[in-house]
Amino acid sequence: MSTHVVSDTRVLLGRSLSHITRSMDTIITTAVMPIAFLLLFVYVFGGAIQTGTDSYVNYLLPGILLITIASGISYTAYRLFLDMQSGIFERFSSMPIARQSVLWAHVLTSIVANFTSLVVVVLVALLMGFRSGAGVLEWLAVAGILFLFTLALTWIAVIPGLSAKSVDGASAFSYPLIFLPFLSSAFVPTESMPGPVRWFAENQPVTSIVNALRDLLAGQPVGADLWTALAWCVGILVVAYAFAMVVYRKKIA
């Protein structure tokens, strides 16, 4: 981004973050459902699920982190929809503001809000017994993957945020994304699944991302799952960004 875009984005980011700080319930709400899943699966179903590990909360946490992000990005679409309906985009278009900066402000706000929710979920997991053998480099790698995943899903959220006809339509797209970890290795090993479900689980993006995060958090060597996870995140990001910009140009032109 040019210096003009960066400076404009910084100003508009301050505007978006001020909305978040005045409405912290959005971050709390984002974290509530993943924490509920964490409590439910660890304390209710955990004893009946065989994962080959001593600590089910350690096995479960990577998938819960992805659910946290999938839940949080619905608010990005919601905030974009409200800005579209209020005419704020048209007002910004009449001002000497770089057009891309308006979207990037929402995207960066999504990253800040989602990472705040992720920290809350990790703290709850620590209270429940989560322990990590990861070093500084592994934690940085985990943060990098979560950042790419958040960025990719946020640009997906931009599309309904700009094009939805109602508030419900703007946020409903996140439901399949929240459900996707349930058809992956996030909760149970894929080996326990029947044939067609196992094939889908092993070849969808969440499984490779979860496996990479799990190995990194355990401080274990990461194999091909890391590169597959990165490829999925970058691929989704590129496609989502391209479609979002097409929709944005049509709406704002």
In order along its 253 residues, the chain shows pLDDT tens digits of 445 556 656 656 666 666 666 666 666 677 788 899 899 988 887 777 777 677 889 999 999 999 999 988 888 888 888 777 766 666 666 555 666 677 788 888 888 888 988 999 999 999 999 999 889 999 999 999 999 999 999 999 989 888 888 877 777 778 888 899 999 999 999 888 898 999 999 999 999 999 999 999 998 888 899 999 999 999 999 999 999 989 888 877 5
Residue 139 corresponds to which tokens in the numbers above? Answer: 């934690």
Query: The pTM is what?
Result: 0.88
Return d(Cα 55, Cα 123) in angstroms, integer: 16
End-to-end CA distance of the chain: 20
Kindly report the number of other CB atoms within 10 A of residue 126's CB atom: 13
- Interacting residues of 112 by C-beta distance below 8 A, sequence separation 6+: 17, 20
| Contact present, 110 and 188 (Cβ < 8 Å) | no
Return d(Cα 39, Cα 33) in angstroms, integer: 10
SS3 205: helix
Residue 3 corresponds to which tokens in the numbers above? Answer: 């210096």
Supply the angle between the helices 136-163 and 99-127 in degrees, to the nearest 10: 130
| Contact present, 74 and 64 (Cβ < 8 Å) | no
